[in-house]
Amino acid sequence: MESGASVKQRIARISAHLNPPAISQVEGSCGLRTGNCRAKGGSPGFKVAILGAAGGIGQPLVMLMKMNPLVSVLHLYDVVNTPGVTADISHMDTGAVVRGFLGKEQLEDALIGMDLVIIPAGVPRKPGMTRDDLFNINAGIVKTLCEGISKCCPKAIVNLISNPVNSTVPIAAEVFKKAGIYDPRKLLGVTMLDVVRSNTFVAEVLGLDPREVDVPVVGGHAGATILPLLSQVKPPCSFTVEETEHLTSRIQNGGTEVVEAKAGAGSATLSMAYAAVKFADACLRGLRGDAGVVECAFVSSQVTELPFFATRVRLGCNGIEEIYPLGPLNEYERAGLEKAKKELAGSIEKGISFATK
């Protein structure tokens, strides 16, 4: 017969996800005590926080991360609705322990000890808007969240999804610099959806399974800054001029295609959650020490004269271990690169001056 105290303790543990832990429940900067963790006995995994977890991207992203065996602790932070999303997700019979955090006063608790922080917080586009039109609202949101990261998990890898990525990544870098914790290897703007779309659209044209196709996409994440390198597609193939123009245009406007189809109800959420999980999983496999983990991301870079640029990067125990050069470009891609760099320069500068003003 169990004692009343041990029954109470067990019930408290089972319902722990509904009550965010007090700071006293965490040990220094290394996350939750295994004693408080329902996944004890399972293999140790990584601690992941999702900021903006109750949103259109956040909810499917949280669900897919709860299914990822590399995740042992999943923190859900938002300014609305996290209790409901947390209660719902926590009933999934997978290993990760889920906890919800609501509102600014719980941001720090959400972040303490995290290995990976994924940020889809912020407003999405409506038809007729550019990603840059989101700057005024999202820049401030990203700045505040990154200040929290600087304080509570300065060594975490950050996957930044909030638009305009071409400006929010430079903002994050400036916040981290100001706090004295900036490690360019750990800050990655998520451009994976461009790769996911490119693989899909190219596979359609080639009549292949998209899972067999790999298209590097470089530059940034907005309009002409999204530069698919169709001359470097794997498996090796060639396209007519018409195919190249059609594919480049569809890839560059993939986000707008979804925004218009949703007709005011937001932008890509499900494909983005899929892409975000694919990318986060790559970061976690890198952290685990897997060899040969290579994905495209918008990162601090010396590949061009710009301070940030998206290219293929190799992920490892410290985040980005290697940044690959662009490789040989054809004439069409060289022209696209010049156009992309011009637009990117302005967006990067806008982010830096916002964060340093």
Contact 60, 269 (CB under 8 A): yes
Closer Cβ to ligand NAD, 71 or 195, answer by number: 195
Residues 317-356 binding ligand LMR (CB under 6 A) are none
Which residues lie closer than 8 Å to 9 by C-beta, 6 or more apart?
none
d(CA 76, CA 342): 37
Find the binder of ligand LMR among 131, 143, 250, 312 (CB under 6 A): 131
Find the binder of ligand LMR among 48, 193, 337, 348 (CB under 6 A): 193
Annotation marks residue 221 as catalytic: yes
Per-position b or e across 33-72, b if 16+ CB within 10 A of its CB: eeebbebeeeeebbbbbbbbbbbbbbbbbbbbbbebebbb
Contact 298, 171 (CB under 8 A): no
Binding-site partner at residue 345 among ligand LMR, ligand NAD, none, CB < 5 to 8 Å by type: none
If binding means CB under 6 A, how many residues of this protein chain bind ligand NAD? 33
Position 66: which residue type?
K
Closer Cβ to ligand LMR, 124 or 219, answer by number: 124
252 near ligand LMR, judged by CB under 6 A: no
Confirm or deny that 6 is annotated as ligand binding: no
Contact 117, 319 (CB under 8 A): no
Segment near ligand LMR (CB under 6 A); pick from 49-57, 97-105, 210-218, 254-262: 254-262
Confirm or deny that 39 is annotated as ligand binding: no
Find the binder of ligand LMR among 83, 100, 216, 255 (CB under 6 A): 255
Contact 310, 297 (CB under 8 A): yes
What is the H or E stretch that residue 63 is in? helix 58-66
Catalytic residue of the set 17, 75, 91, 221: 221
Instruction: Return the C-alpha torsion angle 133, 257, 65, 195, nearest 10.
Output: -100
Binding site for ligand LMR (CB under 6 A): 124-125, 131, 163, 193, 254-255, 258-259, 267-268
Which residues carry out catalysis? 221
Binding site for ligand NAD (CB under 6 A): 51-52, 54-58, 78-80, 120-125, 134, 138, 141, 144-145, 161-163, 165, 190, 193, 221, 266-269, 272
